[in-house]
Amino acid sequence: MSADQPTELSALGKTTPLPSEPSIDTLEKVPSPHPDDHFVVRFTQPEFTSLCPVTAQPDFAHLVIDYIPDQWMVESKSLKLYLNSFRNHQAFHEACTVNIGKDLITLLSPRWLRIGGYWYPRGGMPIDIFWQTGNVPDNVWLPEQGVATYRGRG
């Protein structure tokens, strides 16, 4: 498909139920408007939730996803549905964070991707998970993710 051809999207502009489980099938892609340029796309999900696989209690995170598209970009509504489908999914923090990154790699084949999972405390200790595909290409402006270390109240 060329960048000029429209992509058939199943979620955008339609009432779409929340998927019951995360699946790469939920994610959709659209052609990059600038496939020859290196630019960073950032998605921030400050209220990400999943369930602890041991206790089934809710876990909360602030996710930041940065990637440099090649031919494809993720369609944002499909990403929102995909991320929100984790709310009833039982998995450890590490599995959630890394699997999201790997699913985006499988879908998009971007030039580069990183994900930061800034998880709120479980058992009194916050757990932060970071994953990326390699070194950032030269001459790319990549801001810090800007998520402060967990401090508790105050």
Active site positions, annotated: 52, 59
Nearest to 46 by CA among 131, 138, 130, 148: 148
Task: Give the span between the Cα atoms of 115 and 98, in whole angstroms.
Answer: 8
Helix (H, G, I), strand (E, B) or coil at 56: coil
Task: Give the span between the Cα atoms of 93 and 87, in whole angstroms.
Answer: 12
Beta-ladder partners of 132:
114
Helix (H, G, I), strand (E, B) or coil at 36: coil
